[in-house]
Structure 1
C-alpha cells in the first residue's frame, strides 16, 4: 500500500507554506524558477551547510545526454572493475572521474547537439533540451555508481567454470547477475520511509557528492578557481591522469618487479623461509615496497587517518608478526602445507585435497567416500582469516551499540514518533512518488526469477533455501541500513550467510555460494540503493526518474560484467584456475579461489565438521566473543578516562586489516602506509589549505589514469580483444622472462623462492 503522505498528487501540508518562487539568474544568461524554503532548514548542521534548500522543477532530467553518457561510463566502469577483479593489483573506478568528465562532455553536447526531437514508439525526446544541468549530471552519476562495479554473482560463475568445469549458460548467468543485483530494489523502496526520508538519516558520504555537484555547476566559482601554474581543475585532472597513465606502463608491463619490490628476498633468494616471510606473491611481504599506483590506491589520500592506521596495524600484526611465527614454528601444520597463504584445502601431509574425486554428479560431496579417507585441512592463516572476519562482524555491531547506540535509538524513536517531515522531503512532494506497490511488485518479480534461476540451472539451492536467504537479508537490512545512514558504516552478511547455509545444507558448495550471494547482496545492494535515493533526495531528482536510472545502470553494468568475465576467463584460464602461473604476477585467480574455498569449507564439508569446537579450527568462533567484548572494554575506559579518544580504535576495522588475505596479496602495506602518513598526517595537519584544494582531485586523477592503463593493456597488449593482439616486452632484469616464459630460476617476478623446490638452507 502506498504511503499517503508521499503519494503522487498529494497536497502539501501547512508546514510547506513558507515556500515561494523567485526568478534566479542562470550562468547561461537565462533565468530559472527556484523553489525556496526560507523559514526552515534541516536540523542536522552538516546537511544545512552542504545541501541547499532550493529547487528548480523545470530542469530536464532524463535526456538524450543522460542515456548516452550513463551508458558509456557505466559500461567502461563495469569493464574496468570486473577486469581488475582478476588482477593481483587493482585500481578503483573513481566516481570523481565520472563527474568531472561528464561535466565537460555534457557542456560540450549542450553546445553542439541539434535541438530537433526524435521519436521511438511514440516516445519523443529532444536531442538538446537546453544547457547541461545539475540534476541531469547527478542522475548520470547515480546510474554509473549503481552499475559500474564487479557483480558479486560473477564469483559463482567464475568459480563453477574454473574449478568444476561447469559453465552456466548465458541466460542463466545473466538471470543470476540481474536478480542478485536487483532484488534489493524492492526492499529499498519499502524501507525508504524509515531510512531515506527522515532528516536524521544523513548518509554522510552523500554530502561530499552534493557539494561536488554544486561546486561544479556554480560556473563562476568553478572557472575562477586556479591551481598550480594557473591551471583549471579540469586541466590539472587531465595532466595528472595522463602522467600516471604513461607511468603505469612501467610497473604493469615493462618492469613488473616494481610491483613486487621485495628487496629482502634478494639477500637469500633461494631460501624457503625468506620466500615464505618476505615474498608478497606467496608470503607475508614483510617490509616490501610497491611502486604501482593500482596497488596503493587513491583512498590512501583521504580515508580517515585512524581508520587507515587500524587497517595497517591489523595487516602488520597478521602478516609481519603472526605469519612468520606460524611458519617458523609450523603452527597447525603451516609449513607442512608448504604455502603460508592459500585458500586451497590440503591433507595433513601437505598434499592437495582433490575435491573432484569426492564429488557426486550434481557437484555435491559424496560423504561416504569422503569419510572413508583422511580429512581435509585448510591453511592455518586462512582459518585465522575467518576468525578475524567474525571479530569484524561482531565488533562492528558492538562498537556501534556501545558508542552510537543511544544516539541511534534516540534517532529511531524520533523518526517513528515524529509527524513532521524534513524540509527536503516536503520539497520532494511536487514530484510523483514511486508507489510502494511498484517496489513490492518488483521485489516479487525478482524473487520469482531468482527461484527460476536456482531451480533450472543446477545451482543446488532449493526454492525454500532461496527464500530463507532473502528473508535473512530483508530482516537485517533495516538495522544495518540505519547504522550506515547514521554512523557511516555497517557490517556485511557474507560470513553469516555462508555459516547459516553451511549448517542448513551441508555437502552442497554451489548452494552455499548462491545462498551467500542472495543473502548478502540483497542487503548490500539495498543499502547502496538507499544511499542513492538519499542523494536523489538531496539533489531533488524526481523519484520515478531516479528509479529508472538505477535500474538502467544495473542492467548495463551486469551485461558488461558478464562479457568481461567471459573474455578474461577464456584468455587467462590456466592462470586463474591455478594450473599455471603468470610469470609477471599480474593475473591471479585468488579472489575467485577464495570464494570457491569458502564454498568448499562451509558448503561441501560444512562448518559442523570443519569448525568443530574440539577440532583444529574451533578457535574461529572465539572471534564473535572478542568482537563483542573489546568495544565494551573501550567504552568503559572512555567513561573512566574521557580525555582519551578510545573510539578511534575500531576493532572491526583492525580485524578487517587482519583478514585482508585471501582477498588479495599482502603487498603494498609499507608503501600505502607512507602515502597515508604524508597526506593524512603531514599535509592534512600542517598544510590543510593545500590538502583541501588538491587531495580529492589528485586522488581521482591518479586512480583514473591507472585504471585506463590496465584497460588498454588488457584489450590491446595482453590479448583481451583478440589472441593475436599480444605484445610482450623482451626479457630483461625487470621482468626476467626466459624463452619458456617463466622467471626461472626464481618462483616469481619478485625474485623470491627457488623453482622446482630447489631450496638452500640457512
Structure 2
C-alpha cells in the first residue's frame, strides 16, 4: 500500500469546524472518496436539461471567436502568466425560450476554453515566418493547426475509462469551475449558502472580481514597476552580477517580488501544497542556487553569452550564431558550410533546462509506477461496474456514451490529414516520421496525464520529441518543430480533452454533447488563431524577432523565440552535435538516469520508514520547477509561495471550514477580474482594436521610462539595469 498525499486526498469526514453556512458532508449519503470533490461537486442531476441548444451555438461561437483573438494574443505575445479560465467570462444571454441551464452554460464555457487556447502549431508558423521569412499558405496552415489540435481526441476516448472515471483522478482545476457554475445557477446547497455580509455566492464573486479588475490597472498600466520588484537590484543597479542574479526579466530573479495577480494566479490557493512546494523547491535550486554558482564562476563560459537565461545560440566569443548563413534553399543545414566555421554554443543554463526536462519525464514515469502503480491498477479494475465505482460515474450511466469507433475514425481522419500536410507543404517531415511522433505521444500520455490528474502538475513531451527527431532527421529544423508539435500535442490535447471530460463528468453533461462542443471549439479557435497570428506578426515583427525593443514592455516573442531556439539545437544542428559525449553539454543525458532512480530510492525509503510522506517528494515536479523559466521572466515565484503557504499551509490546516467555503470562488473571482483588465488593456490601451484608440499612461518613476530618456536606463523593461549599458561594474 502506498503512502498518500495527506493534504491532497483525504477520506470524507464530518466537517465540525466549518460554520453554519458551509457545505457539510453527510456521512450517510454516498459521495466521492476525495474530500475536496465531495465538498464542492453536487451529487444531484437533472437528465432532462439539454446542453446543446440553439442558444448554445450562438453564444459559444461568439465567445469562441472573441476568446481565440484577444486571449490567444495575450497568451502568446503579452507578458501575462495568469491561469485564467476564459469560460468564466461567458455571460448568461437568453436567445430562446426556457431558462439558461447549468449544463448549457458549462458546455459553452468548455467550447470557449477550447477555442481560446493558443494552438501549439502557431509556434511553427510563427517561427518560420519570423526567423526564416517563410510563410506557409492559409490552407496548409489551417490543416496543420486543426490536425495538431485534434490528434489527441482518439487517445482520450481510449483512456477515459482509466483517467476520467476513477474518483482519484481529480483534475484539480475543474473544481473551481464546478463551484462557479453551481454558484451562479444556485443549484442545491449553493442556493442557501451565505457568504460574508450575507452575500450570495455570486454577489461575493462579483465584488472580488470587480475589486481585482480595478486593482490590476495599477500594475498593468499605472505602475508596471509593481510587476517585477527586483528590490535587491536597487542596491547596485549597474552591477552586471547583480543584474544576472536578481533581475527577474533576464536573470535569476532571486527574492524578486510582484504585486501583479497575473504573475501569481488563483491556482496557488488550492493546488496540492506538496506539489507546489516541489515546484518552488525546483525554482530555488535552479535559479537561486545553481545559476549564481554558474554565473559567478563563469562555468562553461556562462558570462560570455551575455545573458544567463536565453535560448539563442552563440559562438565562443559571445557573438550571436546566425543559422541563415549555413542553410540551403530548402532550409536544411549545409554541413560543409557549418563545419568550415566556428561551432555554435548555447547558454549553459539553457542546456541545463534540457537536462531537467529529461529528469521530469523519466521521473514522472518512475514516480507513477512506484507510488501510484498499485493503486491505479486497483482503481482501474474498480472504475466501471464494481461496488467501489465512483458515485459520479454511476450517475453518468443514464447518458449514451460516445462509441470507441467515433474516436477511432476521428483519429484516423486527423492522422491522414496530418500526413497530407507534412508531404504537401514542405514541412520536411516524412509520413513515417509523423507516425513515429504520434506513437511516441501515445506511449507516454498515460503516466503524464495520470500525474496531472492526481497532483495538478506534469511534464511535457516537447523535449523528448525534439531529441528523437533530432537523431532521426538531423539538419532539418522545420521537421523537428513539426515532429515535436504532433508528438507533444497528441499528449497535450488528450490531456485537455480528458480534463474537460472530467468537468463534464462533474457537471453531468452528456458525453456526446461534450464531443461536439470540444470539436466545435477547436474548429473555431483554429481559424481565428491563424488570423490573429498573421495580424500580430505583420504589426509587431521587429519586436517579436528581437530586432527591435518594445519600450512599453508589453510585447515579447519569448515563446516563439524559445521554440525556435530548440528547433535550432535539436533540428538544425541535431543532438548528436550539440550533446555529443565528447562535447560541452553531454551531461544532459544524466537527467534520464536521475529521473528514473530518484523515485525508486524514495519508494524504498517509504517501505523502510512508512510514517513519512515520501511520495510527496516528486522529482518530476521539482524538475518542472527547475525548467520553468528557460528564457527569463522569473516572475512571481516568491509571492506565489507566500500565497500558497497562507491558503494551503495555514488556512487549510487550521481553518478548514473557511477554506472549503471560500477558496474556490475567491480564486475564480480574482483570476476573472485580472483577465478582464488584461482584455481591456489589449482592446484599448495597447491598440488592440485600433492604434488610434491606444491610450498611454504618462511617464513617471513607477512605469517604464520614455525610450528617448537616457537618464534612467534602470527604469527600462529590465528593471535591474540595462544590459546594453556599457558602464557595467562587477562583471564582464
In the superposition, the TM-score normalised over structure 1's length comes to 0.85
Corresponding residue number in structure 2 for 1:355: 323
1:31-42 matches, within 5 Å, as none
Cα deviation for residue 41 of structure 1 reads: 6.5
Cα deviation for residue 511 of structure 1 reads: 0.7
Q: Return the alpha-carbon distance in structure 1 between the equivalents of residues 352 and 543 of structure 2.
A: 26
SS in 1 for 2:302: helix
* 1:643-668 C-alpha deviation (Å, 9 max, x unpaired): 22122121111111111112651122
User: Using a 3 Å threshold, how does the CA distance of structure 1 residues 725 and 457 change in structure 2: closer, same or farther?
Assistant: farther
1:161 is the counterpart of 2:129: yes
Q: How many residues align?
A: 701
Which has the higher Rg, Structure 1 or Structure 2?
1
Cα deviation for residue 755 of structure 1 reads: 6.1
Corresponding residue number in structure 2 for 1:259: 227
Cα deviation for residue 399 of structure 1 reads: 1.3
Cα deviation for residue 542 of structure 1 reads: 2.9
Q: Return the alpha-carbon distance in structure 2 between the equivalents of residues 474 and 345 of structure 1.
A: 32
SS in 1 for 2:554: coil
1:147 is the counterpart of 2:138: no
Indicate if the aligned counterparts of 1:77 and 1:93 stay in contact, CA closer than 8 A.
Answer: no
1:450 is the counterpart of 2:418: yes
Indicate if the aligned counterparts of 1:431 and 1:543 stay in contact, CA closer than 8 A.
Answer: yes
Cα deviation for residue 141 of structure 1 reads: 2.9
User: Using a 3 Å threshold, how does the CA distance of structure 1 residues 716 and 743 change in structure 2: closer, same or farther?
Assistant: farther
Q: Return the alpha-carbon distance in structure 1 between the equivalents of residues 130 and 235 of structure 2.
A: 37
Cα deviation for residue 544 of structure 1 reads: 2.4
Indicate if the aligned counterparts of 1:505 and 1:512 stay in contact, CA closer than 8 A.
Answer: yes
Q: Which moved more, 1:491-500 or 1:336-345?
A: 491-500
1:732 is the counterpart of 2:722: no
1:539-554 matches, within 5 Å, as 539-554=507-522
1:387 is the counterpart of 2:378: no
Corresponding residue number in structure 2 for 1:231: 199
Q: Return the alpha-carbon distance in structure 2 between the equivalents of residues 222 and 416 of structure 1.
A: 29
User: Using a 3 Å threshold, how does the CA distance of structure 1 residues 478 and 326 change in structure 2: closer, same or farther?
Assistant: closer
Q: Return the alpha-carbon distance in structure 2 between the equivalents of residues 277 and 661 of structure 1.
A: 14
1:131-280 matches, within 5 Å, as 131-196=99-164, 206=174, 209-210=177-178, 213-214=181-182, 216-219=184-187, 221-280=189-248
1:94 is the counterpart of 2:89: no
Corresponding residue number in structure 1 for 2:612: 644
1:622-701 matches, within 5 Å, as 622-662=590-630, 664-701=632-669
User: Using a 3 Å threshold, how does the CA distance of structure 1 residues 218 and 447 change in structure 2: closer, same or farther?
Assistant: same
Corresponding residue number in structure 1 for 2:504: 536
Gaps of 5+ in 1: 1-38, 114-126
Q: Which moved more, 1:197-206 or 1:545-554?
A: 197-206
Corresponding residue number in structure 1 for 2:345: 377
1:318-357 matches, within 5 Å, as 318-357=286-325
1:40-119 matches, within 5 Å, as 44=33, 55-78=45-68, 79-94=70-85, 97-98=88-89, 102=91, 105=92, 109=94, 113=95
Corresponding residue number in structure 1 for 2:10: none
Indicate if the aligned counterparts of 2:237 and 2:721 stay in contact, CA closer than 8 A.
Answer: yes
Pick aligned residue for 1:599 from 531, 548, 567: 567
Cα deviation for residue 56 of structure 1 reads: 3.4
User: Using a 3 Å threshold, how does the CA distance of structure 1 residues 456 and 419 change in structure 2: closer, same or farther?
Assistant: farther
Q: Return the alpha-carbon distance in structure 1 between the equivalents of residues 172 and 209 of structure 2.
A: 28
Pick aligned residue for 2:674 from 703, 706, 711: 706
Corresponding residue number in structure 2 for 1:25: none
Indicate if the aligned counterparts of 1:745 and 1:755 stay in contact, CA closer than 8 A.
Answer: no
Cα deviation for residue 599 of structure 1 reads: 0.6
Indicate if the aligned counterparts of 2:148 and 2:486 stay in contact, CA closer than 8 A.
Answer: yes
Q: Which moved more, 1:595-604 or 1:264-273?
A: 264-273
SS in 2 for 1:674: helix
Indicate if the aligned counterparts of 1:257 and 1:750 stay in contact, CA closer than 8 A.
Answer: no
Corresponding residue number in structure 1 for 2:402: 434
Pick aligned residue for 1:316 from 284, 308, 314: 284
Q: Return the alpha-carbon distance in structure 1 between the equivalents of residues 166 and 100 of structure 2.
A: 30
Q: Return the alpha-carbon distance in structure 1 between the equivalents of residues 216 and 357 of structure 2.
A: 33
Indicate if the aligned counterparts of 2:184 and 2:202 stay in contact, CA closer than 8 A.
Answer: no
Cα deviation for residue 72 of structure 1 reads: 3.5
1:519 is the counterpart of 2:487: yes
* 1:403-440 C-alpha deviation (Å, 9 max, x unpaired): 11222233345569979987766665554443333322
User: Using a 3 Å threshold, how does the CA distance of structure 1 residues 293 and 533 change in structure 2: closer, same or farther?
Assistant: closer
Indicate if the aligned counterparts of 1:281 and 1:585 stay in contact, CA closer than 8 A.
Answer: no
User: Using a 3 Å threshold, how does the CA distance of structure 1 residues 288 and 199 change in structure 2: closer, same or farther?
Assistant: closer
Corresponding residue number in structure 1 for 2:528: 560
Q: Return the alpha-carbon distance in structure 1 between the equivalents of residues 215 and 171 of structure 2.
A: 36
Indicate if the aligned counterparts of 1:180 and 1:517 stay in contact, CA closer than 8 A.
Answer: yes
Corresponding residue number in structure 1 for 2:249: 281
Gaps of 5+ in 2: 1-27
Q: Return the alpha-carbon distance in structure 1 between the equivalents of residues 657 and 392 of structure 2.
A: 31
Indicate if the aligned counterparts of 2:176 and 2:665 stay in contact, CA closer than 8 A.
Answer: no
Q: Return the alpha-carbon distance in structure 2 between the equivalents of residues 676 and 83 of structure 1.
A: 25
User: Using a 3 Å threshold, how does the CA distance of structure 1 residues 590 and 201 change in structure 2: closer, same or farther?
Assistant: closer
Indicate if the aligned counterparts of 2:331 and 2:476 stay in contact, CA closer than 8 A.
Answer: yes
Cα deviation for residue 518 of structure 1 reads: 0.5
Cα deviation for residue 478 of structure 1 reads: 4.3
Q: Return the alpha-carbon distance in structure 1 between the equivalents of residues 611 and 687 of structure 2.
A: 58
User: Using a 3 Å threshold, how does the CA distance of structure 1 residues 743 and 241 change in structure 2: closer, same or farther?
Assistant: farther
* 1:610-658 C-alpha deviation (Å, 9 max, x unpaired): 1112210000111111111111221222222222212212111111111
Q: Return the alpha-carbon distance in structure 2 between the equivalents of residues 712 and 204 of structure 1.
A: 29
Q: Which moved more, 1:292-301 or 1:232-241?
A: 232-241
Indicate if the aligned counterparts of 2:280 and 2:637 stay in contact, CA closer than 8 A.
Answer: yes
Q: Return the alpha-carbon distance in structure 1 between the equivalents of residues 609 and 276 of structure 2.
A: 24
Q: Return the alpha-carbon distance in structure 1 between the equivalents of residues 282 and 213 of structure 2.
A: 31
Q: Which moved more, 1:193-202 or 1:295-304?
A: 193-202
Indicate if the aligned counterparts of 1:397 and 1:490 stay in contact, CA closer than 8 A.
Answer: no
In the superposition, the TM-score normalised over structure 2's length comes to 0.89
Corresponding residue number in structure 2 for 1:120: none
Q: Return the alpha-carbon distance in structure 2 between the equivalents of residues 229 and 416 of structure 1.
A: 44
User: Using a 3 Å threshold, how does the CA distance of structure 1 residues 428 and 232 change in structure 2: closer, same or farther?
Assistant: closer
Indicate if the aligned counterparts of 1:568 and 1:720 stay in contact, CA closer than 8 A.
Answer: no
SS in 2 for 1:287: coil
Indicate if the aligned counterparts of 1:261 and 1:750 stay in contact, CA closer than 8 A.
Answer: no
Q: Return the alpha-carbon distance in structure 1 between the equivalents of residues 671 and 350 of structure 2.
A: 30
